[in-house]
Amino acid sequence: MMKNKQRSEPVVPDVHKTIKAAFEAFDYESNNRVDVREIGTIIYSLGCFPTQADLHDKNSRDSPVQVEDQTGCINLEKFLPAMTKVLMEHKFPSVPEDLLLQAFEVLDKENKGYLEPEQLAKYMTQEGELFTQEEMDEMLTALADHENNRVYYKDLLNQWTIDPDM
Amino acid sequence: MGCGMGKSELQLKKGDRVTISVPAATAIRAALLIQRWYRQYVARLEMRRRCTWNIFQSIEYAGEQDQIKLYNFFGFLMDHFTPASSERNLISHIFRKNEICRDTEWERHFCYKSIEVSASCTGPHLTFPMTFSGVSKLVEAFKHKQQLHARYVLQLLGETWRLLRILPNISHVSACRAKPITICGDLHGHLEDLLLIFYKNGLPSSEKPYVFNGDFVDRGKNSLEILLILFGFLLVYPNDVHLNRGNHEDHIVNLRYGFTKEVLGKYRVHGKTILKLLQKIFSWLPLATVIDDKVLIVHGGISDATDLGVIARVDRHKVRETPKVNRIWLFGEVAHPGSQSISASGDTKGKDVDEWKQIVDVLWSDPMPQNGCIPNEVRGGGCYWGPDVTEEVLGRHDLQLLIRSHECKQDGYEFCHNRRVLTIFSASNYYEVGSNRGAYIRMGPDLVPHFIQYQASKTCRELTLRQSVGWTERSALRALREQLFAHKSDLIGAFREFDPNNKGLISLTHWAGATERVLNLGLPWRVLRSQLVSSTPHGMVDYQQWIRELSITEPKLEVNNSILETMYKNHSNLETIFRIIDTDNSGLISFEEFRQTWKLLSSHLKTEISDRAIADLARSIDFNKDGSIDINEFMEAFRAHFFYFDLKNSFIQSLGISVTLLHEGI
């Protein structure tokens, strides 16, 4: 979030407000609880890039993803300090653009400048933290050029800048 | 695996990239990076979508209080006044101290109140009376494969039953330029098709009337979800959503074709109760819809004996409609003439047989190419009717087109009988994946049907996530800016409290706090800040400048007359009430009746509206000299004022399932 710019370290009260704001967007019943399935969206929207493993890590004490037994929800009371720590310590750092480009270039082994949907799908659904079929379909719909059905990854990178801090 | 990957791990020499096979470890690392990054991208979009939704929801909730009062008033009217009654004097009828007549059987069997919803319930929670946001929530929940708790199912069905009881056998609709009518055919439990229709065409509303032509259930696995959605919309927009009964809206047929099994499987404890209530509801579904007295819409078709006058008069819920022959087919029973009870009282008078046949014909018949009218042996009920019968029946009723469903068509629709009969079928892939397309009709006042075809499949999405979120987000933000602008003096006052030295700048925190205090919408202002405030040098907001910017973008805001505003919010219900007053369906009510109704309404809503104001209101409508008000003119007269609210409501719709208005060229 703030680490991408030349700035002084974030102030804790401001960080608290930012976390609360993102949390509130999913706190439908205004009881400081969100459904555990939405917590990933909240953490991502705070500028972090956790892995799926991070998001399902309920056991480590500092994890922001600690579920209340009775409700199956995440309580703001636990989430706030844990998430503050995450932000202050940059625990889930972002994926810089140039690294992302290299990742695409690695998969584009013939150096064509684009990926065929089948190629991308093969990697996304078979390697790493696998995509579900639905995620894959959505990604292709979002990223593939509609005319010739190719993923021109270089063009795409320009469009996706990280949001300015909240 | 995971975070903290350094640059060096992925830096490859040019030569490495040229080799055909990628080292497995590198490929995995690359995949992980991309997955992590993409999931973040999607999550950010979801957050934006969520905030957008919250904007509209909060603006809508702020105005829903009156709606609820009106609904209670409406319910009270329903309990005391039915269209079948010959009472003309609505007011005395209401104030008569009558016992409230409730169907005690209903109370005993279908009472949902004792059913508790536990805190761990993961499905949607509904509140009643049903609202647009409630149904949208339901649609979203079903899209995500959640299940509605039995209590809410029974509650929703109970409300539906109450409403259906006062609807006529034949709905009369008029098509006007501003609101083309959408007509859908068989859905047969294919939820993905219904969602696709809503995605392409928009959700039902007072600006988007729909006719659903029967066969909502059986065969597909989401029959109940479809019913709940359709009933939900019917409750919110009773004048603009029309459901025709199909031959599958029948508990006997459901036993064989899967609906009964679906309900019992999904609701092990309350399934039987739900089915019994549905049985009642099915019997109360209207039988036909007529557009502009020219287009007849029924599920099956007609026979040479079809008489809409008879159909309009029957007690539709008392007539058992499943064909006798069909029972043999289903259960091996032997039908003896006269052995089946045809009406609730069990007698088999000629009139009852005639009424029964009228309904069966309308629900079960199929067209055939040859002239004539012969019994439909295949289905076991209704007939096959020919082009000559079409001409005769349409001519006799002064109709120009018959729209029906009941048969699957490869392209989703098909004309026959010299384009006088149109079959519309909305369940794609009905027999198997790829077997057929589905279609729906859009029809304007010229009564020319326009077809939209589709085929449900997972990858069938025409706009990217980003595009659809972007568009609806812009609309939501526009609506929000309008709200902010409307409160500008209060906002400036609140901002000034944080700026004692009159520097014109306040911190972001103060900006968010003050804005929330004034607007009271419960929105995450800090999250929205980047979309609302163009620049914040050093984290400060120049609030005067910001307010000025708001006014530049919204030059046309009007101050709304509170009477008009109240009337608009309730216009769908108002129209229904007016139609109830207009018992002879003449389309005219006297000025005095209008005044008395409005006074009742305002006392129920606890708002003050003087006689003078009502008289002025009536005078502003050009009603004719004998003191009557034409209901249609009345409703149309307010349409221009309500455009602003209509726009907002259609944006609210579009958020429900990421409908793209871009797609419709708006």
Q: Which CATH superfamily is domain A12-88 in?
A: EF-hand (1.10.238.10)
Residues 50 to 79 of B: which have CB under 8 A from any A CB?
Answer: 50-51, 54
Residue B418 at interface with chain A, using a CB cutoff of 8 Å: no
Instruction: Please judge whether A44 and B40 are an interchain contact, meaning their C-beta atoms are less than 8 angstroms apart.
Output: yes
Instruction: Please judge whether B33 and A100 are an interchain contact, meaning their C-beta atoms are less than 8 angstroms apart.
Output: yes
> In this structure, which amino acid lies at residue A83?
M
Instruction: Please judge whether A128 and B5 are an interchain contact, meaning their C-beta atoms are less than 8 angstroms apart.
Output: no
Contact yes or no for A32/A24 (Cβ under 8 A): no
Distance, first Cα to last Cα, chain A: 9
Local confidence band at B408 (pLDDT 50, 70, 90 cut-offs)? confident
Instruction: Please judge whether B31 and A123 are an interchain contact, meaning their C-beta atoms are less than 8 angstroms apart.
Output: yes
Which of A17, A100, A127 is nearest residue B37 as measured by Cβ atoms?
A: A100
In this predicted structure, what is the pLDDT of residue B68?
39
| pLDDT, average across residues B58-75 | 42
Least Cα distance to B424 among B444, B443, B439, B436 occurs for B439
Instruction: Please judge whether B119 and A70 are an interchain contact, meaning their C-beta atoms are less than 8 angstroms apart.
Output: yes
Report how far residue B138's alpha carbon sits from residue B233's, in angstroms, rounded to the nearest whole number. Answer: 10
| pLDDT, average across residues B203-207 | 90
Mutate to test the interface with A, among B37, B48, B507, B663 (most CBs of A within 10 A): B37
ipTM score: 0.84
> Would you call B425 helix, strand, or coil by DSSP?
strand
For residue A129, the chain B residues in CB contact (below 8 A) are 32, 35-36
In Å, how far are A31, A76, B122, B575, B624 from A69, measured between CA atoms?
16, 14, 14, 50, 68
**Greater pLDDT, B198 or A155:** B198
Local confidence band at B609 (pLDDT 50, 70, 90 cut-offs)? low
Which of B22, B33, B524 is nearest residue A109 as measured by Cβ atoms?
A: B22
In this predicted structure, what is the pLDDT of residue B242?
97
pTM assigned to the model: 0.47
Contact yes or no for A33/A70 (Cβ under 8 A): no
> What is the tens place of the pLDDT at every residue in B289-346?
999 999 999 999 999 999 999 999 998 987 754 444 333 222 222 222 333 333 333 3
CA angle at residue B74 from B70 to B76, to 5 degrees? Answer: 120
Report how far residue A127's alpha carbon sits from residue A116's, in angstroms, rounded to the nearest whole number. Answer: 17
Mutate to test the interface with B, among A127, A145, A149 (most CBs of B within 10 A): A127
Instruction: Please judge whether A163 and B12 are an interchain contact, meaning their C-beta atoms are less than 8 angstroms apart.
Output: no
> What is the tens place of the pLDDT at every residue in A98-130?
888 888 888 888 888 888 888 888 888 888 888
| pLDDT, average across residues B635-663 | 37
Residue B27 at interface with chain A, using a CB cutoff of 8 Å: yes
Q: B16: distance to nearest CA of chain A, Å?
A: 9
> Would you call B615 helix, strand, or coil by DSSP?
helix
Nearest CA in chain B to A98: B7
Instruction: Please judge whether B530 and A138 are an interchain contact, meaning their C-beta atoms are less than 8 angstroms apart.
Output: no
Contact yes or no for A87/A15 (Cβ under 8 A): yes
| pLDDT, average across residues B523-540 | 77
Q: A124: distance to nearest CA of chain B, Å?
A: 6
User: Which of B8-12, B446-450, B548-552 comes out lowest in average pLDDT?
Assistant: B8-12
Contact yes or no for B226/B187 (Cβ under 8 A): yes
Mutate to test the interface with B, among A16, A49, A68 (most CBs of B within 10 A): A49
With b meaning 16 or more CB within 10 Å and e meaning fewer, what string describes B513-543? bbbbebbebebbbbbbbebbbeebeeebbbb
Report how far residue B61's alpha carbon sits from residue B266's, in angstroms, rounded to the nearest whole number. Answer: 32
Least Cα distance to B544 among B581, B576, B575, B503 occurs for B503
For residue B512, the chain A residues in CB contact (below 8 A) are 17, 21
Least Cα distance to B211 among B177, B247, B250, B237 occurs for B237
Report how far residue B623's alpha carbon sits from residue B637's, in angstroms, rounded to the nearest whole number. Answer: 11
Neighbours of B441 (CB within 10 A): 25
Residue B464 at interface with chain A, using a CB cutoff of 8 Å: yes
In this predicted structure, what is the pLDDT of residue B37?
85
> What is the tens place of the pLDDT at every residue in B361-385?
999 999 998 899 998 766 767 899 9
* Most confidently predicted of B1-10, B604-613, B648-657: B604-613
Mutate to test the interface with A, among B34, B49, B459 (most CBs of A within 10 A): B34
Report how far residue A155's alpha carbon sits from residue A160's, in angstroms, rounded to the nearest whole number. Answer: 10
In this predicted structure, what is the pLDDT of residue A106?
87
Which of B30, B458, B466 is nearest residue A137 as measured by Cβ atoms?
A: B458
- Secondary structure letter of residue B176 according to DSSP: B
Instruction: Please judge whether B529 and A51 are an interchain contact, meaning their C-beta atoms are less than 8 angstroms apart.
Output: no
In this predicted structure, what is the pLDDT of residue B495?
93
Would you say residue B288 has pLDDT above 90?
yes
Residues ≥6 apart with Cβ < 8 Å to B666? none
Local confidence band at A140 (pLDDT 50, 70, 90 cut-offs)? confident
Contact yes or no for B196/B460 (Cβ under 8 A): yes
The values of phi and psi at residue B185, to 5°, are -100, -150
What is chain A's Cα-based Rg?
A: 18
In Å, how far are B57, B236, B241, B469, B601 from B571, measured between CA atoms?
20, 12, 15, 30, 12
> What is the tens place of the pLDDT at every residue in A8-52?
566 778 788 888 888 887 886 678 888 887 888 889 888 888 888
Residue B615 at interface with chain A, using a CB cutoff of 8 Å: no
Instruction: Please judge whether B39 and A140 are an interchain contact, meaning their C-beta atoms are less than 8 angstroms apart.
Output: no
Residue B9 at interface with chain A, using a CB cutoff of 8 Å: no
Local confidence band at B465 (pLDDT 50, 70, 90 cut-offs)? very low
Beta bridge partners of B205: B208
Q: B526: distance to nearest CA of chain A, Å?
A: 6
Nearest CA in chain B to A131: B35
Residues 191 to 250 of B: which have CB under 8 A from any A CB?
Answer: none
Mean pLDDT of chain B: 72
Tokens 């006052």 correspond to B493
Beta bridge partners of B196: none
Q: A104: distance to nearest CA of chain B, Å?
A: 7
**Greater pLDDT, B649 or B249:** B249
Instruction: Please judge whether A166 and B44 are an interchain contact, meaning their C-beta atoms are less than 8 angstroms apart.
Output: no
Report how far residue B532's alpha carbon sits from residue B279's, in angstroms, rounded to the nearest whole number. Answer: 52
Residue B448 at interface with chain A, using a CB cutoff of 8 Å: no
Local confidence band at B5 (pLDDT 50, 70, 90 cut-offs)? very low
Report how far residue B282's alpha carbon sits from residue B651's, in angstroms, rounded to the nearest whole number. Answer: 33
In this predicted structure, what is the pLDDT of residue A69?
72
Residues ≥6 apart with Cβ < 8 Å to A134? B458
Q: A18: distance to nearest CA of chain B, Å?
A: 7
For residue B33, the chain A residues in CB contact (below 8 A) are 95, 99-100, 103
Contact yes or no for B74/B60 (Cβ under 8 A): no
| pLDDT, average across residues B555-563 | 36
Mutate to test the interface with A, among B18, B29, B47 (most CBs of A within 10 A): B47
Q: Is B248 a catalytic residue?
A: yes
Beta bridge partners of B590: B628
What order do you get walking across the sheet with B366-367 strand by strand?
Answer: B366-367, B383-385, B373-375
Which of A21, A70, A105 is nearest residue B524 as measured by Cβ atoms?
A: A21
Residue B83 at interface with chain A, using a CB cutoff of 8 Å: no
Would you say residue B637 has pLDDT above 50?
no
Contact yes or no for B618/B612 (Cβ under 8 A): no
User: Which of B148-162, B557-571, B604-618 comes out lowest in average pLDDT?
Assistant: B557-571
Residue B460 at interface with chain A, using a CB cutoff of 8 Å: no
Strands B383-385 and B366-367, sheet pairing: parallel
Least Cα distance to B571 among B88, B236, B243, B291 occurs for B236
Q: C-alpha B583: how far from its chain's center? A: 26
Would you say residue B209 has pLDDT above 80?
yes
Distance, first Cα to last Cα, chain B: 46
Which of B10, B27, B461 is nearest residue A141 as measured by Cβ atoms?
A: B461
> What is the tens place of the pLDDT at every residue in B76-117?
444 444 333 333 333 333 323 222 233 455 555 667 777 777
> What is the tens place of the pLDDT at every residue in A66-96?
877 777 788 898 899 999 988 888 888 888 8
> In this structure, which amino acid lies at residue B304?
D
CATH topology agreement for domains A12-88 and A97-159: yes
In this predicted structure, what is the pLDDT of residue B346?
38
| pLDDT, average across residues B598-614 | 62
Q: A85: distance to nearest CA of chain B, Å?
A: 16
CA angle at residue B259 from B256 to B261, to 5 degrees? Answer: 80
**Greater pLDDT, B588 or B415:** B415
Mutate to test the interface with A, among B13, B38, B467, B530 (most CBs of A within 10 A): B38
Least Cα distance to B277 among B263, B288, B289, B258 occurs for B263
User: Which of B10-14, B155-159, B241-245 comes out lowest in average pLDDT?
Assistant: B10-14
In this predicted structure, what is the pLDDT of residue B385?
95
CATH number for the domain whose boundaries are A97-159: 1.10.238.10
Residue B120 at interface with chain A, using a CB cutoff of 8 Å: yes
| pLDDT, average across residues B155-184 | 90
User: Which of B201-215, B293-307, B646-660 comes out lowest in average pLDDT?
Assistant: B646-660
Residue B525 at interface with chain A, using a CB cutoff of 8 Å: yes
Would you say residue B26 has pLDDT above 80?
yes
Local confidence band at B276 (pLDDT 50, 70, 90 cut-offs)? confident
**Greater pLDDT, A91 or B399:** B399
Which of A93, A98, A128 is nearest residue B3 as measured by Cβ atoms?
A: A93
> Would you call B654 helix, strand, or coil by DSSP?
helix
Of B242, B248, B299, B487, the catalytic one is B248
Report how far residue B591's alpha carbon sits from residue B482's, in angstroms, rounded to the nearest whole number. Answer: 36
The domain spans of chain A are: 12-88, 97-159
In this predicted structure, what is the pLDDT of residue B53?
55
Beta bridge partners of B210: B182, B241
In Å, how far are B173, B211, B286, B403 from B441, measured between CA atoms?
15, 10, 20, 10
Report how far residue B38's alpha carbon sits from residue B36's, in angstroms, rounded to the nearest whole number. Answer: 6
In this predicted structure, what is the pLDDT of residue B585?
56
* Helix, strand, coil share of chain A (percent; to 5): 50, 5, 45
**Greater pLDDT, B191 or B512:** B191
Residue B118 at interface with chain A, using a CB cutoff of 8 Å: no
In this predicted structure, what is the pLDDT of residue B222?
95
Instruction: Please judge whether B12 and A124 are an interchain contact, meaning their C-beta atoms are less than 8 angstroms apart.
Output: no
In Å, how far are B58, B495, B511, B524, B578 from B516, measured between CA atoms?
12, 11, 9, 9, 39
Mean pLDDT of chain A: 79
Would you say residue B204 has pLDDT above 60?
yes
Least Cα distance to B232 among B158, B146, B166, B149 occurs for B158
User: Which of B243-247, B472-476, B512-516 comes out lowest in average pLDDT?
Assistant: B472-476
Q: B519: distance to nearest CA of chain A, Å?
A: 16
Would you say residue A155 has pLDDT above 90?
no
- Which tokens in the block code for residue A103? 């990742």
Report how far residue B524's alpha carbon sits from residue A30's, in angstroms, rounded to the nearest whole number. Answer: 12
Helix residue ranges per DSSP H, B365-437: 387-396
Which long-range CB contacts under 8 A does B273-276 form with residues at least 24 apart? Answer: B273/B109, B273/B110, B273/B154, B274/B150, B274/B153, B274/B154, B274/B157, B275/B251, B276/B109, B276/B110
- Which tokens in the block code for residue B36? 């992590």
Local confidence band at B432 (pLDDT 50, 70, 90 cut-offs)? low
**Greater pLDDT, B349 or B402:** B402
Tokens 């903290």 correspond to B4
Beta bridge partners of B415: B422
User: Which of B104-118, B151-165, B503-517, B632-646 comes out lowest in average pLDDT?
Assistant: B632-646
Nearest CA in chain A to B524: A21
Sign of the Cα torsion A123, B196, B206, B75 reads: negative
Q: B45: distance to nearest CA of chain A, Å?
A: 9
Local confidence band at B508 (pLDDT 50, 70, 90 cut-offs)? confident
